Amino acid sequence: MATYYPLIPRDAPRRLSLVLPIYNEVEVLPLVIERLKLLLPTLSSETEIIFVNDGSSDRSLDLLIAQANSDPRFKVVALARNFGHQIAATAGLDCAIGDAVVLMDADLQDPPELVSQMIEKYCEGYDIVYARRTKREGESLFKRISAWAFYRLMRLLVDRDLPVDVGDYRLMSQVSLSALRGMGERHRFLRGMASWIGFATAYVEFVRPPRAAGETKYPFRKMFSLAWDAAVSFSPFPLRLAFLLGGLFTALGLLYGAYAVFRVMSGLYVVPGWTSGVVLICLTSGTTMACLGVFGEYLARLYDEAKARPLYTVYRTVNFLPPKDL
C-alpha cells in the first residue's frame, strides 16, 4: 500500500538549482544555453545552473567556462575524466544549494520549460516531481523497444513501485536530496535510489522530443551496463537465480542417478554411459560456472564498495564560492 503523505503547501523555492551533466555536447550546448536563458526570467526563484562536464573529449568545457565567465548564474564543475552520466549527475547534485534542485539532460530532450510545472507541484508540497514521457518522438524503433523493456525489467528487479517511463529528469526538494546524498554507493542507479528513499512524489507529463543536436551518448552498451548495475545493485534476484539453477541441476542429477542405480539393480542392460556422462558434465559445469559468475559480480561490487574511493574527482570549478573553487 502506498504511504500517505500529508501535503503541506509552501512557497516557490527561494533558490533553485538546475543540474546538467555534459558529455561531448558541443553541438547542442549553444541551443541549451539559449533555452535556459529564456527560461530564467520566467522563474521567480534565484536560480543557479550547474553544468557538470563529464570529461568531454570535445570542446564542451571551453563553451561552459566562457558562459560561466560571462554570467555568474552559470557554474561549472569539471570532472577529471569521464565517470558516466549517473556519477556526473551525482557530482552536480552534491554541489547544488537550491531549496529545490532539478536534474535534466543537456540535449533538450528534457524541455527546460517543464521546470515551472514541477515547481507548482513542489509548492503543493511534493518532494520529488518526475517528468513522465507520454510519447517519444524521433527515436529509433530499437531505442523505443529497448527503453520499454528496460523500464518493465527494472520494475521486476529493482522495485515494484519504480515509476515507468521517467528518466532522470526530476525535481527534488532539499530534504529528499539530502536523503539521496546519504546513499554513497558506487554503482549508482539514480532512478532506483530516488524511488528507494520514498517521499511524496508527483508527476508532470510531457512528450519527449528528439535530441536537438548531436548523437546519443547512451549507446546500447551503456544502456545495458546501466540495466545490469540497476539489477545487481538493487536486487538479489540474479544471486537467487544462480541458486535456483544450481538447485534445478542438482535435482536433475539426483533423478538421473537414481534412474541409473535402478537400471543396475533391476538387471537391465547398462549402456556404457559415455554420452549421458558428457552431457551431464557439460550441463553441471556450465551452470556451476554461471553461478560462480553471478557470485563474482556481487563480489566485485563488494570489493569496489570496500575500497571506498571517492565517486569522482574534480579537475576545476567555476563560479562556486570557496572552498569549492580550486
DSSP 162: P
Give Cα 322 distance to the centre of its chain. 30
Nine cell digits for residue 138: 524521433
84: left (phi over 0), alpha (psi -120 to 50) or beta: left
Task: Note whether 133 binds ligand UDP by CB under 6 A.
Answer: no
- CB under 8 Å to 120, separation ≥6 — which residues? none
What is the closest distance, in whole angstroms, from the C-beta atom of residue 260 to ligand UDP in the complex?
54
- CB under 8 Å to 39, separation ≥6 — which residues? 112, 113, 115
Nine cell digits for residue 45: 526563484
* Selected range binding ligand UDP among 100-108, 176-184, 252-260, 278-286, rule: CB under 6 A: 100-108
For cell 560462480, the residue is: 292
Task: Note whether 82 binds ligand UDP by CB under 6 A.
Answer: yes
Task: Note whether 127 binds ligand UDP by CB under 6 A.
Answer: no
Task: Note whether 54 binds Mg ion by CB under 5 A.
Answer: no
For ligand UDP, how many residues bind (rule: CB under 6 A)? Answer: 16
Q: With H, G, I as helix, E, B as strand and everything else as coil, classify residue 151.
A: helix
- Interacting residue with ligand UDP among 39, 78, 88, 204 (CB under 6 A): 88
DSSP 174: H
Helices 174-181 and 85-95 cross at an angle (nearest 10°) of 120
Q: Looking at beta carbons, which residue is closest to Mg ion?
A: 109
Q: Which of residues 199-228 bind ligand UDP (CB under 6 A)?
A: 216-218
* Selected range binding ligand UDP among 18-26, 124-132, 152-160, 252-260, rule: CB under 6 A: 18-26
- Interacting residue with Mg ion among 54, 94, 99, 107 (CB under 5 A): 107
Task: Note whether 22 binds ligand UDP by CB under 6 A.
Answer: yes
Task: Note whether 109 binds Mg ion by CB under 5 A.
Answer: yes
Nearest to 235 by CA among 306, 161, 156: 156
**Which stretches of the chain bind ligand UDP, using CB under 6 A?**
21-23, 25, 54, 82, 84-85, 88, 105-107, 109, 216-218
**Which stretches of the chain bind Mg ion, using CB under 5 A?**
105, 107, 109
